[in-house]
């Protein structure tokens, strides 16, 4: 009898922050300390997938519980009109 291979698809929200010099820095709130980057959105996405995979594999190897995926949660920008503000630089 052949062994059945089961593949799980885990979904985690990633935060992409544009860099002044171009590209993006990516963090994943459910995976503390995970930070990666890429020169384009596509490369940053690729790097994030790789970093998440490595993070989960390390947790698995160390016998740590894997954080619950973000199945029903998503992030969306919300714009508001606000009277003049001064931001700290």
Q: Is residue 83 in some structural domain?
A: no
Residue 24 lies in a domain: yes
Looking at the whole model, is its pTM more than 0.85?
Answer: no
Does residue 39 form part of some domain? yes
Q: Is 76 inside a domain boundary? A: no
Residue 52 lies in a domain: yes
Within a domain: 22:
yes
Contacts with 28 (C-beta within 8 Å, 6 or more apart), sequence order = 12, 13, 14, 15, 34, 48, 51, 52, 55
Phi, psi of 46 (to 5 degrees): -60, -45
Residue 44 within any structural domain of the chain: yes
Say which residue the tokens 């490369």 belong to.
Answer: 43
Q: 28-75: per-residue pLDDT in tens? A: 999 999 999 999 999 999 999 999 999 999 999 999 999 999 887 777
**What residue numbers bound the domain in which 19 lies?**
15-61
- Tens digit of each residue's pLDDT (9 = 90 or more) over 71-83: 877 777 888 888 8
Residue at 75 is within a domain: no
Structure token pair of residue 4: 């059945």
Into how many domains does the chain fold? Answer: 1
């Amino acid at each position: 009898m052949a062994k059945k291979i089961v593949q799980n698809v885990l979904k985690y929200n990633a935060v992409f922050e544009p860099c002044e010099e171009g590209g993006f820095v990516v963090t994943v709130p459910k995976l503390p300390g995970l930070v990666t980057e890429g020169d384009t959105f596509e490369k940053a996405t690729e790097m994030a997938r790789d970093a998440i995979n490595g993070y989960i594999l390390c947790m698995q190897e160390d016998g740590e519980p894997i954080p619950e995926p973000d199945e029903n949660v998503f992030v969306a920008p919300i714009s508001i009109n606000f009277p003049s503000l001064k931001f700290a630089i």
